[in-house]
Amino acid sequence: MSGVPNTVFLRLEGPMQSWGDPAMGVMRRTMDAPTKSGVFGLICCAMGKSRQESREHLALLNEFHMGVRIDRAGDRWWDYHTVGAGIGLRTAEGGIKSGAQGTQITRREYLADASFLVALQGGNTTLLQDVIAKLRNPDWPIYLGRKSCPPATPIFAGAGDFPNLESALRSEAQPWQSRINGGPDTRPEDGQCVCVVDAGAGCAVPTGATEEVWYDKPVSFNPPYHEARLVWRMRLPLPKSHDAFREHTRPAPPPRANYQNAEYKKRRERRLDDDHHLCVFCKSPATTVQHITYRHAGGNEMPEELRSLCRLCHDAVTMIEYGLGMGLDRINPEEEKWRGQIIEKRNQIIAFRSLETRRRRLEAEEVE
């Protein structure tokens, strides 16, 4: 690839997105992949262009070829809407009530939990650089088809130089992506993804491709006017780097304390003996030990990784650790910086336990 990119990638992923077909009125469906009108509208929004101002930019943007790889098709959801359409309320006789304004009932369709990789390719490098800059730092908030659909990941997904859209969508730099937080594995079983690509676009008709006409080539957003374009729907193999990207080794589970482990019990008793069975914080009789780190938990603890504590101090320290969301390394109750928090938490526990004790001793009529 040369140093000057001719292709920009967009990652369109979010809880909800909708890419409307030309249908208007009360039924607003969505296409199964981002439309050219929707993607160019997103770019014009990033550039801070109104519907009126975007007309001249649409003429330039339409010089780009567009391809979409459907990494995750998502689930179709319907949403019920009532909008103030400024229409009159009808009477029982079928007339319009004078001065009464009603609402319009509509149904909107969305794609839930979908993910798409969009590739825009063209020779206008100046415009391409402008698009990249605005996707990185948009002037206006951008959304996935409708304003109620914010993206879940950064839109800009990279750029490069490719001979055609097919090679761009198969680039090893753009592997198929699973859900961010795991969940069901939606990887295609046959190792191929469905793609919708501008017909032509510098490549021959792919084997097995089908032709479709999409009326989504925007000429104007105000008033809305779209022309038809011919697209190929085809299946492309996932990039070679897919397996390396997706089939990574799961990390080992973090060490956990095993209170039934015989070796742990020996080291626990040794720690209590070293501390003379006294709490290192309040000097009350110690009944347990506290892990100040879990890096060797499970039977390999070193004596210096444990501290003897009474039950009250142990509960106070543990509650502080959970509140702070601490990981492997925990609180050392002997450190001065924790003293105030431990005392405050001890007092809260004592006050709560005292209240519960009093409640258990009250008669039923006193509780009311």
Tokens read off for 202:
């510098």
Element (H, E) at 368: none
Can you give the pLDDT at residue 282? Answer: 94
User: pLDDT (tens digit, 9 = 90+) per residue, 123-137?
Assistant: 898 999 999 999 999
* Secondary structure class of 174 (helix, strand, coil): coil
* Secondary structure class of 9 (helix, strand, coil): strand
In DSSP notation, 88-139 reads: EEEPTTS-EEEEEEEEEEEEEEEEEEEEEEEEEE-S-HHHHHHHHHHHHS-S
In DSSP notation, 318-351 reads: HHHHHHHT--SB---TTSGGGHHHHHHHHHHHHH
Best-predicted range by mean pLDDT among 19-33, 101-115, 124-138, 192-206?
124-138
Q: Cα–Cα–Cα angle for 176, 172, 122, nearest 5°?
A: 95
Domain residue spans of the chain: 7-84+102-180+187-246, 262-367
Q: What is the C-alpha separation between 9 and 155, in angstroms, rounded?
A: 8
Can you give the pLDDT at residue 181? Answer: 57
**Mean pLDDT of the 98-113 span:** 78
Closest CA to 110 of 144, 67, 72: 144
| CB-based contact 42:142 (threshold 8 Å) | yes
Can you give the pLDDT at residue 244? Answer: 40
Please tell me which residue, 197 or 87, carries the higher pLDDT value. Answer: 197
Q: What is the C-alpha separation between 186 and 136, in angstroms, rounded?
A: 28
Whether the per-residue pLDDT at 50 is higher than 50: the answer is yes
User: pLDDT (tens digit, 9 = 90+) per residue, 138-190?
Assistant: 999 999 999 889 999 999 999 999 998 988 998 888 887 766 555 555 666 66
User: pLDDT (tens digit, 9 = 90+) per residue, 327-338?
Assistant: 888 999 999 999
Whether the per-residue pLDDT at 365 is higher than 60: the answer is no
Can you give the pLDDT at residue 106? Answer: 79
Q: What is the C-alpha separation between 113 and 13, in angstroms, rounded?
A: 7
**Mean pLDDT of the 77-97 span:** 73
The CATH code of the domain at 7-84+102-180+187-246 is 3.30.70.2660
Sign of CA dihedral 189, 214, 146, 89: negative
Can you give the pLDDT at residue 57? Answer: 87
**C-alpha 313 chain-centroid distance:** 40
User: pLDDT (tens digit, 9 = 90+) per residue, 303-359?
Assistant: 889 999 999 999 999 999 988 888 888 999 999 999 999 999 999 988 887 776 666
User: pLDDT (tens digit, 9 = 90+) per residue, 17-38?
Assistant: 999 876 566 778 899 999 999 9
CB count in 10 Å sphere of residue 265: 13
Can you give the pLDDT at residue 354? Answer: 76
Q: What's this model's pTM, rounded to 2 decimal places?
A: 0.61
User: pLDDT (tens digit, 9 = 90+) per residue, 253-292?
Assistant: 667 788 888 888 898 999 999 999 999 999 999 999 999 9
| CB-based contact 199:230 (threshold 8 Å) | yes
Q: What is the C-alpha separation between 344 and 331, in angstroms, rounded?
A: 15
| CB-based contact 17:144 (threshold 8 Å) | yes
Place of tokens 């793609």: 195
- Cα separations (Å) of 58 from 55, 146, 152, 249? 5, 19, 26, 46
Can you give the pLDDT at residue 139? Answer: 94
Q: How confident is the model at residue 242 (pLDDT cuts 50, 70, 90)?
A: very low
Can you give the pLDDT at residue 193? Answer: 85
Q: What is the C-alpha separation between 136 and 147, in angstroms, rounded?
A: 19
Can you give the pLDDT at residue 26? Answer: 72
| CB-based contact 108:143 (threshold 8 Å) | no
Percent of the chain at pLDDT exceeding 90: 48
Work out whether strand 306-309 and strand 288-291 pair parallel, antiparallel, or are unpaired.
antiparallel
